[in-house]
Amino acid sequence: MSENIKAPKIRAKKGRKKSRLPLIMGASITLIMVIIGLISIFWIPLDVNESDPSIRMLPIGTPGHLFGTDYLGRDVTSMLMTGVRTSVIIGACSAFLALFIGTMFGMLAASVSKLDEPIMRTADIFMAMPGIIFALVLASTIGAGYLTTIFALTSFFTPAFVRVTRASSMRVLAEDYISVARLYGRGKLFITFRHVLPNISSILIVQFTIYFAAGVLSEAGLSFLGVGINRPSVSLGMMLHEAVEQIGITDPLGVWPGLGIVILVIGLNLLGDGLRDYFDPRFSQRAR
Amino acid sequence: MGRFILRRLVFFAITLLITSVLIFALIRAAGGNVAAILLGKNSSAEEILKLSTELGLERPLPVQYFEWMNNFLHGDLGQAFRSKQLASHLIWTQAPVSVPLSLGGLLLAIIIAIPLGTYAAKNFNKPSGAFVALLSQIGIAIPVFWAGLLLSLVFGVHLGLLPTGGWVPWTENWVGSLRSLVLPVFTLGIVMASTLTRYTRTAILDVMNEDFVRTARASGMSRRVALIKVGLRNASLPLVTVLGLLAAEMVGGTVIIEKVYSLPGISRMILDNVTAREVVVVQSTVMVIVIYVMTINLIIDLAYGLLDPRIRVGK
């Protein structure tokens, strides 16, 4: 015990110092990827759909084609830049929509017992729908593309936010200080936003970044299956699909888009970790 | 507890019913004119109408729905329009690929993730814990299909240890079947384990900050004992939620992995049948998958009640 009395001061300092590194790294990586995406809106080296048979399969580092060209002579650098943009837009939109809708319904389910069952059963229904099959059916109804993919991913992600929000809200609501707040006469709305939301925010932030990243990954997966983003749009998953279908898995063209996805997702996750430590000082000070 | 289980079971049935309507509506909305697609581009309007009537597709949708549900509940999952194969037969022949793949992946993920996540949380301020956290970060960031491609490149193409794709039926050569499943299960397992490790770590770190762990520590338990006796049980609540989410994601992962390793599984069958507009087969197969996922969710809901009496009593 004596060790515990002295310890907090030193450890809290150490913890704070340590917690900045993931935040800075994650924010930098995410920022760089977002900037690449932004640049690609205004400028890319060459048209992503312009093929030139005379310059097929140029190796990496060729002047004018930094990442070489693909089997039709299209510029890989341009495709990668556009692909990053697609990933960021789809990941961010679907995760944000799911966070917003999911948190609302999750907290509602946790605090209003009459609405608990209907909300959770609806979430179950959506969750039980295999997301990829759902996206596939959607893609054949309203056509594959940006909006379809975002819609499918949001529907698929929202129940996860509802469930996690509800589970952690209920854990908070079972705490003694909530009973005290109730005895004090605080209303449900006040308790929800003043006590529950701040206490579950660390979980939600982690959840948001995971699902931003999951959105990036799922979009890649859907495009890899051929039901996500298709030409003339470009996505990293679609590039891998083309590479594998056309030239086989041994070709280096199957590496860059995959690496792009990995870097973006790692950046997002680091950012989430960093933000959690930053917003939740309780975490770094009290953790033993 | 009995009432709690009964309630859950009733809701399970109701949920399945609503889901079946949704599936039916969604797939019929997507179907377009099924007969026209079955007959091809050069068919006349009369031919299309004739086939539609023959297949019973001209009747009102509610009638078709009730017929499908009625048959489904009696174990008749319908048959393919073109090949006349029974949907149940199709599912039955693909299940030996998909079920071991998905369950094997989930099991492997749990076996890897729970100890690893607990370890990472316990040692969160040591290099070893940070290393595990880093590993799980990288694992989460790797798309499941890319992991599959890289693994088959290393173990299949370069080392030649395992097949890179294809399938040997269990009855023909079970060693061959196992060999074709190793890489897919491993791919699915490590990808899901990464997510689960991260959640385990977060959940346990959160719990470590709770007063009851401090109390347990103050009452003389060592950090390890307090963590396992008090922490893990309390951390299991959010973890169980995540496991349910993973079970649904597992189905998605299975679709992609079956594509990467060209395995003839249920998901590939659905892909083929959606393209071919075999609506009845798709409806029934998706319904079977939904029941599979919902059953896992039911078990999780029941586990909730077991793990946290407050929830049970609150109902």
Query: Are A132 and B27 a contacting pair at CB < 8 A?
Result: no
Q: Which residues contact B177 (CB under 8 A, 6 or more apart)?
A: B96, B167, B168, B169, B170
User: Residue A247: pLDDT above 70?
Assistant: no
User: Which of B19, B124, B252 is the closest to A287 by Cβ?
Assistant: B124
Per domain, the residue ranges of chain A are: 77-287
Chain A interface test: which of B149, B234, B270 (most A C-beta within 10 Å)? B149
Q: Which residue of B has its CA nearest to A268?
A: B141
> For residue A176, which phi and psi values (nearest 5 degrees)?
-65, -35
Task: Pick the closest to residue B25 from A174, A67, A69, A134 (CA basis).
Answer: A134
Interface ipTM > 0.95: no
Length of chain A: 288
Task: Pick the closest to residue A151 from A132, A165, A138, A133 (CA basis).
Answer: A138
Calculated CA dihedral for residues B66, B67, B71, B76, nearest 10 degrees: -130
Paired tokens of A167 = 């589970």
Distance CA B39, CA A192 (A): 58
Question: Is B249 in CB contact (< 8 Å) with chain A?
Answer: yes
User: Residue A194: pLDDT above 90?
Assistant: no
Distance CA A52, CA A54 (A): 5
pLDDT of residue A28: 92
User: Residue A15: pLDDT above 70?
Assistant: no
Question: Is B19 in CB contact (< 8 Å) with chain A?
Answer: yes
User: Residue A16: pLDDT above 60?
Assistant: no
Q: For residues A79 and A70, is the Cβ–Cβ distance under 8 A?
A: yes
Question: Is B1 in CB contact (< 8 Å) with chain A?
Answer: no
Task: Pick the closest to residue B260 from A258, A90, A91 (CA basis).
Answer: A258
pLDDT of residue B212: 80
Q: Give residue B221's region: left, alpha or beta (phi > 0; psi -120 to 50).
A: beta
pLDDT, one tens digit per residue, over A268-288 is 888 887 877 776 655 444 333
Lowest mean pLDDT among A29-43, A51-65, A224-238, B280-294: A51-65
Contact residues on chain B for A170, CB-CB shorter than 8 A:
311
A226 to chain B, closest Cα gap in Å: 11
DSSP A53: G
pLDDT of residue B31: 55
pLDDT of residue A9: 45
pLDDT, one tens digit per residue, over B79-125 is 777 777 787 888 888 888 888 888 899 889 989 988 888 888 888 88
The neighbouring-strand residues paired with A62 are A65
What one-letter code names the amino acid at A44?
A: I
SS3 content of chain B, % helix, strand, coil (to 5): 80, 0, 20
Q: Which residue of B has its CA nearest to A172?
A: B210
Q: Which residue of A has its CA nearest to B304?
A: A167
> For residue A62, which phi and psi values (nearest 5 degrees)?
-65, 135
Query: Are B311 and A170 a contacting pair at CB < 8 A?
Result: yes
Q: Where do we find the tokens 């692909």? A: A83
User: Residue B248: pLDDT above 80?
Assistant: no
Contact residues on chain B for A263, CB-CB shorter than 8 A:
141
- Residue A14's pLDDT band (cuts 50, 70, 90): very low
Chain B interface test: which of A30, A133, A158, A236 (most B C-beta within 10 Å)? A133
Distance CA A208, CA A201 (A): 10
CA–CA–CA angle B16, B22, B27 (5° rounding)? 125
- Give the residue-averaged pLDDT of A44-56: 72
- Give the residue-averaged pLDDT of A143-167: 86
CB pairs under 8 A between A and B: 170
> Average model confidence (pLDDT) for chain B?
80
Q: For residues A162 and A102, is the Cβ–Cβ distance under 8 A?
A: yes
- What class is the A77-287 domain? mainly alpha
User: Residue B27: pLDDT above 70?
Assistant: yes
Q: Which residue of B has its CA nearest to A222?
A: B256
- Give the residue-averaged pLDDT of A39-51: 76
User: Which of B157, B297, B314 is the closest to A250 by Cβ?
Assistant: B157
pLDDT of residue B211: 79
Question: Is B150 in CB contact (< 8 Å) with chain A?
Answer: yes
Q: For residues B273 and B72, is the Cβ–Cβ distance under 8 A?
A: no
Q: At what angle do helices A76-111 and A146-173 cross, to 10 degrees?
A: 40
pLDDT of residue A8: 45
- Residue B57's pLDDT band (cuts 50, 70, 90): confident
Paired tokens of A155 = 């529907």
Paired tokens of A232 = 């003339």
Omega of the bond prior to A118 within 30 degrees of 0, cis?
A: no
Query: Are B145 and A220 a contacting pair at CB < 8 A?
Result: yes
Q: For residues A65 and A77, is the Cβ–Cβ distance under 8 A?
A: yes
Q: Which residue of A has its CA nearest to B221?
A: A1
- Residue A223's pLDDT band (cuts 50, 70, 90): confident
Q: Where do we find the tokens 């860059």? A: A256
pLDDT of residue A32: 92
Contact residues on chain B for A133, CB-CB shorter than 8 A:
251, 255, 267, 270, 274, 286, 289
Query: Are B152 and A249 a contacting pair at CB < 8 A?
Result: yes
| Other CB atoms within 10 A of residue A281 CB | 13
- What is the fold of B93-312? MetI-like fold (1.10.3720)
pLDDT, one tens digit per residue, over B262-315 is 888 877 787 777 777 777 888 888 888 888 877 877 887 777 777 776 666 544
Distance CA A157, CA B71 (A): 32
A89 vs A55, higher pLDDT: A89
Question: Is B205 in CB contact (< 8 Å) with chain A?
Answer: yes
- Give the residue-averaged pLDDT of A6-25: 58
Kindly tell me the number of DSSP H helices and DSSP E strands found in chain A.
11, 0
DSSP B83: T
pLDDT of residue B76: 80
The neighbouring-strand residues paired with B90 are none
- Please report, rounded to a whole number, the percentage of residues in chain B having pLDDT higher than 90: 2
- Give the residue-averaged pLDDT of A133-141: 70
- Residue A250's pLDDT band (cuts 50, 70, 90): low
Per domain, the residue ranges of chain B are: 2-73, 93-312
User: Residue A31: pLDDT above 50?
Assistant: yes
Looking at mean pLDDT, say which of A40-54, A97-111, A143-157, A210-224 comes out highest: A97-111
Q: Which residue of A has its CA nearest to B164?
A: A249
Query: Are A130 and B137 a contacting pair at CB < 8 A?
Result: no
